[in-house]
Amino acid sequence: MLNDKPDARRHLMPIAVAICALSCAAPALGQTAKEQGAASDKKAEPKRTGVSRASPASPNATINLVNLLVKQGVLKEEQAQALIKQADDEAYVSRQAAKDATVKADEAAKAANAASAAAQPPGTRHVTYVPEIVKRQLREEIKRDVMAKAEKENWASPGAYPEWAQRIRFYGDLRARYQGSFFPTGNDQLNDWNFNSINTGSPYDVGELALAYWPTYNAGQDRQQFRFRGRLGMEADLFNGFSAGLRIATGENSSPVSTNQTFGSNGGNFSKYALWLDRGYLKYQAWGDDLAVSLGRFDNPFWSPTDLAWHKDLGFDGVALQARYQLYEGFTPFMVAGAFPVYNTDFNAGTPVDANLDGAPDKFASHDKWLFGGQVGFAARFDPKSSVRLAVAYYDFQNVQGKVSSACSVLSSSDSCDTDMTRPSFAQKGNTYRALRNLIVTPDMLANKKGYYQYFGLASDYRPVVTSAQIDFGEFHPVHVVLDGEYIWNTAFNRGQMDSLSQQLFLFNNRAGTPDGSIGPYNGGNQGWLGRVTVGHKEVKHLWDWNVHAGYKYLESDATIDAFVDSDFGLGGTNLKGYFVGGNLGLSENVWATLRWMSANNVAGSPYAVDIVQFDVNARF
């Protein structure tokens, strides 16, 4: 700015010289060592002066001069703020050094006086003289010590944090939601069985004269809910490529696919709500983050543009390897592989009954469940703002299919059988189930037509192949047009086996109705697909950022395990088809509103339909 004003430069030369002189003299203005020590004992440190175009007079001439230059437009406020901060820091360190020097000089004088008094006869007077050069040396040494300590502990620079604190980052988000769930007439409330309720509780008596109906999902009564989600996380840099993270979240229960907390639930009456450990992991990254190994509980390591196969907030337990390599500019292949324990057998799993007649209660063999997965794909950019991504993944769920037990005598609901642990420990709805227990029928059971206590397991194996694709057109940046698509196919599905089980009446759901009202054959399936188009900003971060989307979803009953898919569409699970629309609007920095409408129907089994509206206000930090 001064280069454009030669006259101003010439007139301001004396002022610049004055600034330099005053900056050098400022640490010692108006104070001697004794005066400074006395002043610091009587009053607190003076408040540091900031830049202002209407600042009152400061006791520091340098600050007054800098404010004058800002007022005249010679300096920018950012430049003036830096000068004032430097002057304040130097003055602060000098005051500390002078104070420490005064204390040490007083202590030395007292020690010298005491020694002199001891050596001299009574009545002798002794005056200690410390040369000025010694005082200066003491001052400089103390100043260096104070400055070194200040730099190490970062207390000489206001707003700075210790080194260890600078390696920790906190983050979080909040969401308030209104949700309305509306059911049309014609839904089959009687046969919308809740297998998750049975399998996570006591076994159900399937006898003809059992007193209670099967537990069922609500399929007929409209509901309105006000819900809340809060998450708070921490990430720490541990040096040499290692990092660690923790996150806690709200939630009504330990469901892996929902951190929503419904207001008024869990007893109501303004009861407090629970927090859960949602993430906890150790990560190693190398080669510019092109290689990453995660261990613990972490975000989904597989790339998935939709929630057809995986719920968007699902956490994975286990170990995952992610790698990528840019072959040339604009083309980057990637791969992901991982192993994840889905269920671990209880250490003391067994029964108090001596079924083996060996004189001791029986313990069951382990039946651990695992997920092994791998994905390969590539990301390519065909112009500065547009890109395409494609990936194929294969997932192998091991030991998730329900197994029929050996002959089992059950006299009460508390008795167990040797394959009870093959039932799912968590489920939504949609998968096909079969009975697990091979019950020994007693005369009392035949006579009373009850006492047939039963658990249920998945009728199929699951080894889905998932193809994912995304095309991002950014020619109108910041407005983008994004096309997302996914297709899923369960390669382990055996149609002949399912039909055979259906004919033997071993399958309990996903069976077609017949004109006479009886239960028909199995009509589930093993495929699914989802397509979606989004128009607007890719991310809603700022005021008035926006995007809208629309799509269609079709997911057959046994395309994948229903426990891990989206929990909103159709109220969660598989065996659903329908459309969805929605949009987002930025209300402020990192605050936005979301509106969604979802309309879903059953693909197979008894009639079921539901329409859902959600309105969210979100914030992240």
- 397 within a domain of the structure (yes/no): yes
Is residue 106 assigned to a domain? no
519-522 and 453-454 strand pairing: unpaired
The answer to whether residue 569 is domain-embedded is: yes
Residues sharing a CB contact under 8 Å with residue 405, sequence separation 6 or more, in sequence order: 417, 418, 419, 420, 436, 437, 438
Q: Give the model's pLDDT for residue 24.
A: 44
The number of folded domains in the chain is 1
Mean pLDDT value across residues 211-222: 89
Residue 533 in 3-state DSSP?
strand
Residue 157 lies inside a defined structural domain of this protein? no
Sole residue written with tokens 């907390």:
261
User: Residue 321: is its pLDDT beyond 80?
Assistant: yes
Stretch 235-245: mean pLDDT = 95
Q: What is the pLDDT of residue 88?
A: 76
| Helix, strand and coil in the chain, % to nearest 5 | 25, 35, 40
Q: How confident is the model at residue 31 (pLDDT cuts 50, 70, 90)?
A: very low
- State percent of the chain over pLDDT 90: 57
As given in the structure block, the two tokens for residue 391 are 């990936």
61-71 and 6-25 helices cross at what angle (nearest 10)? 160
Is the pLDDT at 40 greater than 60, yes or no? no
CA 539 to CA 548: how far, in whole Å?
11
Per-residue pLDDT at 154: 63
Q: Give the model confidence (pLDDT) of 268-302 as tens digits.
A: 899 999 999 999 999 999 998 899 999 999 999 99
Asked if residue 38 is part of any domain, the answer here is no
* pLDDT of 433 above 90: yes
Q: Do the Cβ atoms of 411 and 493 come closer than 8 Å? A: no
Count Cα neighbours of 74 within 13 Å in the Cβ-side half-sphere.
Answer: 16
Q: Please answer whether residues 463 and 293 qualify as being in contact, where contact means their C-beta atoms are separated by less than 8 angstroms.
A: no
pLDDT value at residue 520: 81
Q: How far apart are CA 48 and CA 132, in angstroms?
A: 31
Which tops the pLDDT comparison, 248 or 409?
A: 248
Residue 436, sorted as left (phi over 0), alpha (psi -120 to 50) or beta, turns out to be alpha
Q: How far is CA 590 from CA 139, 480, 544, 547, 587, in A?
A: 51, 19, 11, 15, 8
Average pLDDT over residues 175-201: 94
Q: Which residue has the higher pLDDT, 26 or 417?
A: 417
- Look at 139-153, 397-411, 537-551, 595-609 and tell me which has the smallest mean pLDDT: 139-153
Domain span at residue 504 reads 183-221+299-620
Strand 331-343 with 519-522, pairing: unpaired
Q: pLDDT at position 519, please?
A: 74
The residues, ordered by sequence, that sit 6+ positions from 382 with a Cβ below 8 Å of its Cβ are 330, 388
Compute the distance between CA of residue 197 and CA of residue 193 in angstroms, rounded to an integer: 9
Going by C-alpha positions, the residue among 193, 248, 259, 187 that lies closest to residue 219 is 187
Is residue 383 predicted with pLDDT exceeding 80?
A: yes
pTM for this one?
0.75
Alpha helices in 120-235 (DSSP H): 132-153, 195-199
| Mean of pLDDT values over 490-503 | 91
Model pLDDT for residues 253-266, shown as the tens digit of each residue? 999 999 999 999 87
Give the range with max mean pLDDT: 109-118, 161-170, 347-356: 161-170
Cβ contact 377:332 at 8 Å = no
In a domain, 122, yes or no: no
- The residues with which 185 forms a beta bridge, in sequence order, are none
Given a contact cutoff of 8 angstroms between Cβ atoms, the answer to whether 188 and 220 are in contact is no
**Hey, CA dihedral for 262, 266, 272, 277, is it positive or negative?**
negative
pLDDT at 53 over 80: no
Residue 13: exposed, middle, or buried by beta-carbon count in 10 A (0-12, 13-18, 19+)?
exposed
Instruction: Give the whole-number percent of the chain exceeding pLDDT 70.
Output: 82
Distance CA 351, CA 405 (A): 13
User: Confidence class of residue 6 from pLDDT cuts 50, 70 and 90?
Assistant: very low
Is residue 8 over pLDDT 50? no
Q: Would residue 116 count as lying in a domain?
A: no
Let me know if residue 153 belongs to a domain: no
Average pLDDT of the residues in 383-396: 96
